[in-house]
Amino acid sequence: MKTRQLGRSGLGVSAVSLGCMGMSMNYGEPRDRTEMIVLLRQAVELGVTHFDTAEVYGPFVNEELVGEGLAPVRDKVTIATKFGFDIDAATNKPTGKFTSRPEHIRAVCEASLKRLGTDVIDLFYQHRVDETVPIEDVAGTVRDLIAEGKVKHFGLSEAGAETIRRAHAVQPVAALQSEYSLWSRDPEADVLPVCEELGIGFVPWSPLGQGFLTGTVRPDQTFNEKDVRSWFPRFTPEAMKANMALVDHVKAIAERRSATPAQVAIAWLLAQKPWIVPIPGTTKLHRLEENLASADLELSAADVEELTASASKVEIQGGRGTGHEEYK
């Protein structure tokens, strides 16, 4: 597996890494814990060195899963987790609000360290911007946690360019994690340029468009009520039918390059910048192997240009569906 540097942070990771959320939530029933522990260890054997989780995934259980799965190889991998969602202590369910008060960040850090079974968090993201707390206070709190040896690197997620600048001035931001793929190109206008300017790595979540870009989703497909796609605007039958034009372009390149659509979609991201590290998620070994092979698929400049131009001509139907459509 090839490796990449997340900006100028000094954090080197596998060029294609692993998002672990889907093992515990958002795409149907949580997967069998034992099977997922096996998959995490298989990922390491295949060269993955960077794993992404968050306290809100589950909540809590995904961190525990990742911690147990990676315990035997902890010295060979980096683990990213996140703070910032308000979780009701009585029900262990997210309230739908954000909170990044300094005392909350500290409490999450301590709890995440225990669940992960580690003494340091390699990359600690603010999961969503909390407009009630100055970003300088957030960055300052993480700076203190770094000084105390509990965190190594600071990250932001779904943040806007000005927020990134303000945070970076207090504590250098190692990575920004936001949705980015051929059908979600929002970061290109302002966010990617500021990342390049400041030397910040970029970690695209959902690089396969919640699976849509793999070409395996049918326009008439329905989804389990525990699958976020059952209510995401881009997955209504009408939207899927319209958005399939983008998949057709990806399939055309894939056929020419003897690759799969998923591999082409990830390779396109890798071709954008050398400090971009996608984190596709999966619960299946054969999909993991397929996704990781994207690191060895080098699209030509003509391929990248053709795919970018073709994607630009497709008017994607439906919002991203996260409920946080605008960067803050």
Could you give the CA distance from residue 296 to residue 310 in angstroms, rounded to a whole number? 23
Q: What DSSP designation does 282 have?
A: -
Would you name the residues annotated as active-site residues?
57
Q: What confidence score (pLDDT) does residue 323 get?
A: 54
Could you give the CA distance from residue 32 to residue 54 in angstroms, rounded to a whole number? 19
Phi (first) and psi of residue 28, to 5 degrees = 95, -160
**Average pLDDT of adjacent 10-residue blocks, the chain of 328 residues:** 97 98 96 98 98 98 98 98 97 95 98 98 98 98 98 98 98 98 96 98 97 96 94 94 97 98 98 98 98 97 97 94 73
Strand pairing report for 93-98 and 85-88: antiparallel
Other CB atoms within 10 Å distance of the CB of residue 186: 16
Q: Which residues contact 2 (CB under 8 A, 6 or more apart)?
A: 14, 15, 295, 296
Could you give the CA distance from residue 146 to residue 85 in angstroms, rounded to a whole number? 21
Structural domains in the chain plus CATH codes = 3-208+273-284+291-296 (3.20.20.100)
Could you give the CA distance from residue 178 to residue 202 in angstroms, rounded to a whole number? 8
Other CB atoms within 10 Å distance of the CB of residue 308: 16
Integer-rounded Cα radius of gyration of the chain: 19
- Does the pTM surpass 0.75? The reply is yes
Query: What is the dihedral angle through the alpha carbons of 149, 153, 159, 161, rounded to the nearest 10 degrees?
Result: 120
Long-range contacts of 145-149 (CB under 8 A, 24+ apart): 145/105, 145/106, 145/109, 146/171, 149/119, 149/120
Contact by Cβ (8 Å): 170, 140: yes
Token pair for residue 4? 């990449």
Burial of 163: CB neighbours in 10 Å, binned 0-12, 13-18, 19+: buried
Could you give the CA distance from residue 90 to residue 88 in angstroms, rounded to a whole number? 6
Length of the chain in residues, anyone? Answer: 328
Contact by Cβ (8 Å): 229, 210: yes
Q: What confidence score (pLDDT) does residue 320 get?
A: 87
Q: What confidence score (pLDDT) does residue 321 get?
A: 75
Could you give the CA distance from residue 116 to residue 131 in angstroms, rounded to a whole number? 28
Phi (first) and psi of residue 54, to 5 degrees = -165, 155
Q: What confidence score (pLDDT) does residue 324 get?
A: 56
